[in-house]
């Protein structure tokens, strides 16, 4: 057997790599084209779900955006952490050599300054500690530097920038500022962290558990392992081609150091390429190493940790909205990226200080260091590969059976589904790690960022504590869902061959996760109560809602994840980014309600989650039979989800238009009317255009006679108006009548008697009620739709609104005429308005 | 013909399945009487697995229906599974479960008492010589062992209709022999076996009825005797196969 020549081999690898790279995007485009074609051929596009392979381009773009955000965040933290010290400060001197200002470069503190500059008002109440700390640190530093100046004069300082590339004041650093070699080391460490993180992301993308099988396959060919490795690196580099952009950082450094255009371009490109190749080498090395060194089980744990890291970062950003420290992080990020990479005093000093340039550990050394890292990395990996046999660990034929494993099983009182889930939890370490370690990591991150403030805040604040307990527990639900589903779908044939509906199987797992989350929430609450008994009233008020939310969210989030499944092949499954965002969004809004702790808000959220849960599972049940079907779609049908979407868009449209109108200077009354109309238009578009496009019939068919309709209409109008009159009397005696404000009488009349009946009847009777009726008996559907109608109205009018909803839903059920409902609604509104 | 009074255990009525432009199954009709041992023959890519997936309710036919007894395989997919056992070509099992636990899970999902599950699993696993390995995690099994485990899961509840997709792929000679015995015994007990294969000698030795599929439609079907009668009594099934699937890619394995 002849061996390929080296150039031929290398060209083969490169061509394969290019082809794979190109095919990824071609495939994405092909899928998109097919989807368009299918739509054109009259096959309704699936709403929130698709088990078809998603357009990879879209997924890649999203992943790239997320990765760059996280990367920026980390690099920013690392760079500034090394760049900042109390000794490193900017001193401004006036003509006479007096100190004008001293600025600490700690970016959090800098942010505080920005915050102060921007708002003339004092910083919000929640910032007092940091603000005081900052003031104290600044004052202390100023004193110290003043003393330093008094003792040494200007000779005690050295310039950070000899000829600053930006106009402005000269910056001086004290002699005791961290030495150049220390900062160079810091930058190197920062870059190394970037590498590691990038390769971690690459691995995450690939899933550690299925580490590069093609490598194993390639060993079958008569090619030396060193060359194989080189080829794989070239190939892997294409997987992370955006990494070349990281060359921007060194390019900026070279520019600051006064390098010419060519030096900047070539240097940046060179660094970027080096970075890319290095990251690829690290990835291949990691794959080989992981495959060789660790058993599947351990790889599972590692994979779990990498997953956690990314999800935690995302969640921290999301949930952190309630922590002032995180607000700072986010605002700081928006303000300073990518500026910190250029402006960080650390990189500035390093790049522009002639001493640093001349120093053997200056930025040019960085290139040498990276090259060395790359070379040693490659050399180590190549050595590992070329040294003797390559045996992946733990993949071999069955191990000898231990007597314990073959022993008879235990009790049979648990349902098979639940027992299987429990067994999986026990044996799948990555899932366990995800479920149990994640809350701890989340807390740790918060703690690291805000120090003692987290404990301080939690101790004194029942809202923060309750939402933290909820956040930890709901996180468990989310991660367990993602891991359970990917696990389940891998062998869906197996579950499908059993006479049990898939929905039952998935729900059993969700309920188990819900029960575990409830247990965790109870334990956390008990611990909190033991630590801070004074918080008992606030916590215990929220506890029933927290538990209820967890129970319902366990099912709801599993349903959303199911709808967002993307089945790539018989054994590979991915959760779409969309389903991840949705689960986070829903749980975050529930967390917000827990944080507020207002009884009405909590109840409203409970009803909303319940309805969402119902709507999602109604859709899941319709979609599940098509789970393994790549071509066919379920027949178009009205679902409660359409109604829920209409409700959501109605309120969002209303709010957004109202806010815009108010900002444009419209009177509140006009803004209200405009917002309502805009919301109505959005809903109109949704129902008429979207539902028609999806070929969903929603306009009810008349069933009763006209006489029956009119008698029902009259009776309903009398009943609701009477109730409205009585309730107004009650409110008047209690003097709790809501005031109308400056809303004009005509505008209000237009709104209440014409616009509201049309829009609201279409949403709540036309879509919500009929959607519910698809899977509920009339009485249940009437009650549920009326409950939803009630909670979206002000609490004061609840009884009347509830009655109106019941009457109209019953009228629609009996007569099938939506216009009759609109008339009753208009009549009731007219009566109440004229009485008011 | 056996049991003409009863409805066929499996009826495929003008079944078609399109994947975009490509017709994997094209107007395929077939009646399978109770108690037959039926082979679906065809070269690779003829549409055998697609047909089986439609019968199992994993795919929805573009047109036509697949009926098991009186139940539609897609709309009644849960109820159908009470009467059917299924072994796919490449069975994949849940990670982190041992063979024994998977069998027990299957049995309990079908509402069988633990003692019955243990007894039947014991009989089947002894015959297939896999009892020793049942305590091991199923994901560590070789391909043949996965097939055996899948077979035990499929036969555990003694289904009326046993559907096997390329059952002998990856099996050693001994297990192949046992599998053939099991298939014959199933039929002798009055139940039905439907299997797909591209191995002609296997089909010729085993089945009493066969259909030859080519490019998604049935080229010929009936009892072996009928097939021979129609195409000349001296011809072997192999000759027949190559005549009917001419132009299609020959079975290469």
Cβ under 8 Å to A: B residues 11-40: 17-20
Residue A48 touches partner B, C-beta closer than 8 Å:
no
Tokens representing A659? 């806010």
Pairs of CB atoms within 8 A across A/B: 129
Q: State which residue of chain B sits closest to A393, comparing Cα positions.
A: B140
Query: Could you tell me the pLDDT band of residue A144, with boundaries at 50, 70 and 90?
Result: low
Which residue, among A37, A39, A398, A424, would best test binding to B if mutated, counting the most B CBs under 10 Å from its CB?
A398
| % of chain A residues with pLDDT over 70 | 43
Q: Where are the alpha helices (DSSP H) in A84-179?
A: 107-118, 128-152
Which among A491, A497, A629 has CB closest to B60?
A: A629
Query: Could you tell me the pLDDT band of residue A374, with boundaries at 50, 70 and 90?
Result: low
Q: Tell me the per-residue pLDDT of A735-760, one tens digit each, with 9 for 90 and over.
A: 544 444 455 667 777 788 888 888 88
Contact B110 A398 (CB under 8 A): no
Which of the residue ranges A57-61, A500-504, A603-607 would you say has the lowest mean pLDDT? A57-61
Q: State residue B228's pLDDT score.
A: 75
Contact A628 B86 (CB under 8 A): no
Distances (CA, A) of A832 to A749, A799, A800: 11, 13, 10
Which of the residue ranges A465-469, A567-571, A651-655, B200-204 would you say has the lowest mean pLDDT? A567-571
DSSP assignment of A592-623 equals: HHHHH--HHHHHHHHHHHHHHHHHHHHHHHHH
Q: State residue A33's pLDDT score.
A: 72
Q: Which residue has the higher pLDDT, A321 or A676?
A: A676
Residue A142 touches partner B, C-beta closer than 8 Å:
no
Give the distance from residue A611's alpha carbon to the nearest chain B alpha carbon, in angstroms: 27
| Local structure of residue A633 (DSSP, 8 states) | -
Q: State residue A249's pLDDT score.
A: 57
Q: Tell me the per-residue pLDDT of B147-183, one tens digit each, with 9 for 90 and over.
A: 999 999 999 999 999 999 999 888 889 999 999 999 9
- Residues on chain B touching A408 (C-beta within 8 angstroms): 118
Which among A407, A417, A493 has CB closest to B88?
A: A493
Cβ under 8 Å to A: B residues 128-147: 132-136, 140-142, 145
Residue B172 touches partner A, C-beta closer than 8 Å:
no
Tokens representing A634? 């379920």
Classified as helix, coil or strand, A576 is coil
Q: Tell me the per-residue pLDDT of A195-215, one tens digit each, with 9 for 90 and over.
A: 444 444 444 444 444 444 455
Query: Could you tell me the pLDDT band of residue A821, with boundaries at 50, 70 and 90?
Result: very high
Q: Is the pLDDT of residue B50 over 60?
A: yes
How far apart are the C-alpha atoms of A293 and A298, rounded to whole Å? 9
| % of chain A residues with pLDDT over 90 | 8
Q: State residue A437's pLDDT score.
A: 57
Q: Which residue has the higher pLDDT, A133 or A780?
A: A780
Q: State residue A49's pLDDT score.
A: 31
Which among A498, A626, A629 has CB closest to B81?
A: A498
A789 sits in which H/E element: helix A778-791
How far apart are the C-alpha atoms of A662 and A650, rounded to whole Å? 18
Q: Tell me the per-residue pLDDT of B27-37, one tens digit each, with 9 for 90 and over.
A: 999 999 888 99
Contact B105 A625 (CB under 8 A): no
Give the distance from residue B168's alpha carbon to the nearest chain A alpha carbon, in angstroms: 19
How far apart are the C-alpha atoms of A781 and A534, rounded to whole Å? 43
Which among A401, A417, A500 has CB closest to B136?
A: A401
- Tell me chain A's radius of gyration from C-alpha atoms: 32
Which of the residue ranges A294-298, B1-5, B12-16 would you say has the lowest mean pLDDT? B1-5
Q: Tell me the per-residue pLDDT of A403-454, one tens digit each, with 9 for 90 and over.
A: 333 334 444 456 777 777 777 777 766 566 655 555 555 555 555 444 444 4
Q: Is the pLDDT of residue A728 over 70?
A: yes
Contact A409 B62 (CB under 8 A): no
Query: Could you tell me the pLDDT band of residue A19, with boundaries at 50, 70 and 90?
Result: low
Q: Is the pLDDT of residue A723 over 50?
A: yes
How far apart are the C-alpha atoms of B26 and B218, rounded to whole Å? 9
Query: Could you tell me the pLDDT band of residue A170, with boundaries at 50, 70 and 90?
Result: very low
Q: Where are the alpha helices (DSSP H) in chain B?
A: 48-55, 77-80, 99-109, 114-128, 143-155, 173-188, 200-206, 224-231, 237-244
Query: Could you tell me the pLDDT band of residue B6, with boundaries at 50, 70 and 90?
Result: low
ipTM of the shown complex: 0.82
Which of the residue ranges A103-107, A468-472, A485-489 would you say has the lowest mean pLDDT? A103-107
Q: State residue A826's pLDDT score.
A: 92
Cβ atoms of B38 and B51 closer than 8 Å: no
How far apart are the C-alpha atoms of A490 and A510, rounded to whole Å? 17
DSSP assignment of A276-317 equals: HHHHHHHHHHHHHHHHHHS-HHHHHHHHHHHHHHHHHHHHHH
Residue A501 touches partner B, C-beta closer than 8 Å:
yes
Residue B62 touches partner A, C-beta closer than 8 Å:
yes
**Measured at the alpha carbon of residue A428, what is the angle toward residues A427 and A434, in degrees to the nearest 5?**
135
Q: Which residue has the higher pLDDT, B122 or A400?
A: B122
Which residue, among B18, B21, B25, B60, would best test binding to A if mutated, counting the most A CBs under 10 Å from its CB?
B60
Q: State residue A331's pLDDT score.
A: 36
Q: State residue A303's pLDDT score.
A: 61
- Residue A279: name the closest of A310, A239, A306, A249 by CA: A239
Contact A493 B94 (CB under 8 A): no
Which of the residue ranges A274-278, A348-352, B204-208 would you say has the lowest mean pLDDT? A348-352
Most confident of the following: A165-179, A546-560, A705-719: A546-560
The total number of residues written for chain B in this structure: 253
Distances (CA, A) of B172 to B131, B132, B145, B179, B205: 16, 16, 10, 10, 18
Residue B58 touches partner A, C-beta closer than 8 Å:
yes
């Amino acid at each position: 057997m002849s061996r390929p020549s080296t150039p031929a081999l290398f060209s083969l690898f490169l061509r394969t790599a290019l082809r794979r790279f190109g095919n990824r995007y071609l495939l994405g485009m092909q899928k998109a084209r097919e989807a368009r074609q299918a739509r054109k051929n009259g096959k309704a596009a699936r709403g929130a779900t698709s088990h078809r392979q998603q357009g990879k381009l879209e997924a890649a773009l999203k992943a790239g955006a997320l990765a760059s955000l996280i990367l920026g965040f980390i690099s920013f933290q690392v760079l500034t952490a090394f760049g900042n010290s109390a000794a490193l400060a900017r001193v401004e001197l006036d003509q006479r050599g007096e100190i004008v200002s001293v600025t600490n470069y700690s970016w959090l503190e800098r942010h505080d300054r920005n915050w102060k500059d921007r708002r003339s008002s004092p910083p919000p109440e929640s910032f007092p500690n940091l603000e005081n700390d900052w003031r104290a640190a600044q004052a202390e530093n100023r004193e110290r530097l003043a003393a330093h100046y008094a003792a040494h004069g200007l000779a005690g300082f050295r310039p950070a920038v000899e000829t600053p590339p930006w106009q402005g004041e000269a910056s001086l650093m004290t002699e005791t500022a961290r030495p150049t070699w220390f900062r160079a080391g810091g930058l190197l460490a920062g870059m190394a962290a970037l590498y590691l993180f990038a390769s971690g992301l690459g691995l995450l993308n690939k899933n550690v558990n299925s580490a590069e099988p093609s490598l194993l396959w390639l060993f079958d060919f008569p090619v030396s392992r060193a060359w194989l490795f080189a080829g794989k690196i070239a190939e892997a580099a294409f997987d992370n081609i955006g990494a070349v952009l990281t060359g921007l950082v060194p390019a900026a450094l070279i520019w600051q150091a006064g390098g010419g255009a060519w030096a900047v371009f070539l240097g940046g490109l060179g660094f970027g390429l080096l970075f890319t190749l290095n990251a690829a080498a690290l990835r291949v090395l990691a794959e080989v190493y992981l495959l060789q060194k660790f058993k599947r089980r351990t790889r599972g744990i590692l994979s779990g940790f990498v997953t956690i890291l990314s999800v935690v970062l995302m969640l921290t950003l999301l949930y952190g909205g309630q922590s002032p420290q995180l607000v700072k992080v986010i605002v700081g990020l928006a303000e300073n990226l990518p500026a910190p990479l250029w402006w960080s005093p650390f990189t500035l000093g390093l790049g522009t200080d002639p001493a640093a340039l001349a120093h053997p550990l200056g930025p040019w050394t960085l290139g040498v260091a990276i090259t060395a890292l790359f070379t040693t990395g490659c050399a180590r990996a190549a050595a590992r590969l070329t040294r003797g046999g390559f045996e992946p660990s733990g993949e071999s034929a069955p191990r000898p059976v231990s007597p314990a494993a073959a022993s008879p099983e235990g009790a049979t009182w648990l349902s098979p589904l639940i027992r299987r889930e429990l067994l999986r939890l026990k044996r799948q370490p990555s899932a366990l790690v995800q479920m149990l370690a994640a809350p701890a990591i989340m807390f740790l991150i918060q703690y690291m960022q805000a120090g003692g403030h987290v404990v301080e805040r939690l101790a004194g604040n029942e809202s923060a504590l309750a939402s933290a307990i909820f956040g930890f527990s709901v996180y468990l639900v989310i991660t367990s869902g993602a891991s359970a589903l990917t696990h389940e779908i891998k062998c869906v044939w197996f579950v499908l061959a059993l006479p049990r509906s898939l929905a039952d199987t998935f729900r059993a797992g969700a309920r188990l996760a819900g029960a575990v989350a409830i247990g965790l929430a109870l334990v956390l609450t008990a611990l909190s109560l033991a630590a801070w008994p004074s918080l008992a009233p606030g916590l215990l008020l929220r506890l029933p809602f927290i538990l209820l939310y967890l129970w319902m969210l366990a099912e709801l989030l599993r349903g959303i994840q199911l709808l967002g499944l993307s089945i790539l092949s018989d054994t590979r499954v991915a959760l779409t980014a969309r389903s991840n965002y949705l689960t986070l969004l829903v749980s975050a809004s529930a967390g917000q309600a827990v944080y507020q702790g207002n009884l009405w808000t909590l109840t409203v959220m409970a009803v909303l989650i319940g309805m969402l849960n119902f709507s999602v599972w109604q859709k899941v049940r319709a979609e599940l039979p098509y789970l393994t079907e790549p071509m066919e779609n379920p027949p178009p049908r009205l679902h409660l989800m359409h109604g829920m979407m209409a409700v959501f868009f109605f309120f969002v449209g209303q709010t957004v238009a109202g806010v815009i109108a108010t900002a444009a200077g419209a009177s509140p009354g006009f803004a209200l009317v405009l917002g309502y109309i805009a919301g109505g238009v959005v809903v109109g578009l949704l129902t008429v255009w979207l539902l028609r496009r999806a070929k969903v019939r929603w306009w009810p068919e008349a069933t009763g006679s006209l006489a029956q309709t009119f008698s029902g209409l009259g009776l309903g109008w009398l009943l609701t108006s009477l109730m409205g009159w009585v309730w107004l009397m009650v409110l008047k005696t209690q003097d709790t009548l809501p005031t109308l404000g400056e809303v004009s009488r005509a505008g209000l009349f237009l709104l209440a008697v014409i616009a509201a009946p049309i829009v609201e009847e279409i949403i709540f009777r036309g879509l919500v009620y009929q959607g519910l009726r698809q899977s509920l008996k009339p009485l249940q559907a009437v009650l549920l739709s009326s409950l939803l109608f009630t909670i979206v109205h002000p609490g004061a009018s609840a009884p009347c609104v509830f009655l109106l909803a019941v009457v109209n839903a019953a009228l629609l059920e009996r007569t099938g005429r939506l216009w009759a409902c609109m008339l009753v609604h208009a009549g009731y509104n007219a009566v109440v308005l004229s009485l008011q | 013909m056996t049991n003409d009074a009863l409805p066929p255990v499996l009826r495929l009525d003008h079944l078609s399945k399109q994947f975009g432009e490509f017709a994997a199954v094209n107007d395929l009709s077939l009646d399978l009487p109770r108690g037959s041992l039926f082979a679906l023959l065809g070269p690779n890519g003829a549409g055998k697995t697609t047909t089986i997936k439609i019968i199992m309710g994993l795919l929805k036919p573009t047109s036509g229906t697949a009926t098991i007894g009186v139940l539609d395989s897609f709309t009644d997919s849960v109820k159908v599974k009470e009467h059917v056992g299924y072994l796919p070509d490449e069975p994949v099992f849940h990670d982190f479960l041992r063979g024994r636990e998977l069998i027990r899970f299957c049995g309990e999902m079908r509402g069988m008492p633990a003692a019955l599950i243990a007894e039947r699993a014991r009989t089947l696993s002894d015959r297939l010589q896999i009892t020793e390995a049942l305590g091991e995690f199923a994901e560590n099994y070789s391909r043949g062992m996965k097939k055996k485990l899948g077979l035990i899961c499929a036969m555990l509840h003694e289904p009326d209709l046993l559907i096997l997709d390329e059952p002998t792929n990856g099996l050693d000679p001994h297990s192949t022999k046992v599998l053939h015995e099991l298939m014959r015994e199933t039929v002798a007990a009055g139940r039905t076996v439907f299997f797909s294969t591209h191995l002609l000698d296997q089909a010729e030795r085993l089945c009493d009825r066969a259909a030859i599929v080519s490019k998604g439609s049935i080229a010929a079907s009936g009892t072996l005797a009928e097939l021979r009668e129609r195409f000349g009594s001296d011809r072997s099934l192999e000759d027949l196969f190559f005549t009917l699937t001419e132009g299609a890619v020959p079975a290469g394995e």
